[in-house]
């Protein structure tokens, strides 16, 4: 592989890993806290992209503000999903997963009806130009995703380890019964987890909006990737999810560059099957599954 291509691929891998990580941490958190397997997670991502489309491309709001707007917007959708779908099906992982599969259809169809089904590549790129590293050209629009993801993941870490509610969330993920005995409200925790899940998936979609084709179905492929990341990372482990996200980002990008996209997905999926069968605790080895 040529050096330029190699550097390009590395850069793309880091970007991919950043996106995967941002999307997957929310999914891992939701699953860890109360076994909420969110099939509609890809649609949270999709709706985040549409927030940018509506506010930035249509509404003329500055790009960074539009991205930030995605956070509370999709967080609310996450909260609604928890309240209306996950709470009534609590205790039954399969039911929650299937119900959110229904939600996927609802959200995809709604987005299609509201904004049409045509390719929306018309989102103007706010940051033109590219960075030049050893001959490889990497668009600024892509590069900025890396520090954005780092900030977001850092914030999450801080929240989970230094803020009272975040610590309660972690406690709940590790042992819901003990947490309940300590007076932590499970409902508040599940709502919080899904709110974060929505916010993070949404902001990832928002960041990607200028780069990726914005369609109602853009979340579809991401769902399987997100699940691969969460499972390989260890179902309930946030750190594991981040690690797995970057690992998968590299694997996907390199395999796609060297072979093709289908092979990349195959490798990812095979990896997931392998982990589920051989080491269900995933990379980080946490017992919860």
Q: d(Cα 189, Cα 71) in Å, to the nearest integer?
A: 18
Half-sphere exposure of 95 (CA within 13 A, CB side): 9
For the bound state, the minimum distance from the C-beta of residue 241 to another protein, rounded and expressed in Å, comes to 15
For the bound state, the minimum distance from the C-beta of residue 117 to another protein, rounded and expressed in Å, comes to 8
Task: Please report the DSSP string for 150-183 in residue order.
Answer: HHHHHHHHHHHHHSHHHHHHHHHHH-HHHHHHTT
Rounded (to 5) percent helix, strand, coil in the chain = 75, 5, 25
CB closer to another protein, 99 vs 192: 99
CB distance 137 to 130 below 8 Å:
yes
For the bound state, the minimum distance from the C-beta of residue 108 to another protein, rounded and expressed in Å, comes to 7
CB closer to another protein, 95 vs 130: 95
CB closer to another protein, 3 vs 260: 260
CB closer to another protein, 107 vs 196: 107
Structure tokens at 91: 């205790």
Q: d(Cα 73, Cα 59) in Å, to the nearest integer?
A: 16
For the bound state, the minimum distance from the C-beta of residue 99 to another protein, rounded and expressed in Å, comes to 4
For the bound state, the minimum distance from the C-beta of residue 211 to another protein, rounded and expressed in Å, comes to 24
Task: Please report the DSSP string for 18-30 in residue order.
Answer: HHHHHHHHHHHHH
For the bound state, the minimum distance from the C-beta of residue 150 to another protein, rounded and expressed in Å, comes to 29
CB closer to another protein, 52 vs 197: 197
CB closer to another protein, 58 vs 266: 266
CB closer to another protein, 71 vs 230: 230
Contact residues for another protein, defined by CB under 8 A = 35, 37, 85, 88-89, 92-95, 97-99, 101-106, 108-110, 112-113, 224, 227-228, 231, 260, 262-263, 265-266, 269-270, 272-273, 276-278, 280, 287, 289
User: Phi and psi for 132 in degrees, rounded to 5?
Assistant: -120, 105
For the bound state, the minimum distance from the C-beta of residue 64 to another protein, rounded and expressed in Å, comes to 33
Neighbours of 245 (CB within 10 A): 30
Q: d(Cα 97, Cα 39) in Å, to the nearest integer?
A: 6
Q: Which residues contact 6 (CB under 8 A, 6 or more apart)?
A: none
């Amino acid at each position: 592989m040529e050096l330029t291509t190699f550097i390009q691929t590395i850069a793309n891998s880091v970007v991919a890993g950043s996106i995967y990580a941002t999307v997957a941490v929310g999914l891992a958190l939701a699953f860890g806290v109360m076994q909420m397997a969110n099939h509609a997670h890809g649609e949270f991502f999709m709706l985040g992209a549409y927030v940018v489309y509506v506010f930035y491309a249509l509404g003329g709001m500055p790009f960074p503000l539009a991205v930030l707007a995605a956070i509370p917007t999709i967080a609310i959708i996450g909260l609604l999903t928890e309240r209306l779908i996950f709470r009534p099906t609590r205790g039954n992982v399969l039911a929650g997963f299937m119900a959110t599969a229904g939600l996927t259809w609802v959200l995809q169809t709604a987005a299609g009806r509201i904004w049409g089904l045509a390719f929306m590549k018309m989102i103007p790129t706010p940051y033109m130009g590219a960075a030049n590293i050893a001959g490889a050209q990497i668009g600024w629009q892509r590069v900025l995703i890396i520090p954005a993801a780092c900030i977001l993941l850092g914030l999450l870490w801080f929240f989970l380890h230094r803020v009272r509610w975040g610590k309660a969330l972690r406690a709940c993920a590790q042992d819901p019964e003990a947490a309940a005995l300590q007076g932590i409200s499970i409902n508040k925790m599940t709502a919080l987890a899904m709110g974060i899940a929505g916010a993070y998936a949404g902001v990832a979609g928002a960041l990607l909006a200028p780069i990726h084709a914005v369609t109602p179905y853009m979340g579809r492929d991401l769902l399987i990737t997100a699940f691969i990341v969460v499972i390989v990372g260890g179902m309930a482990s946030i750190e594991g999810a981040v690690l797995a996200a970057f690992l998968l980002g590299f694997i996907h990008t390199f395999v796609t560059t060297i072979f093709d996209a289908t092979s990349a997905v195959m490798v990812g999926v095979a990896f997931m099957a392998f982990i589920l069968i051989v080491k269900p605790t995933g990379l980080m080895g946490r017992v919860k599954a």
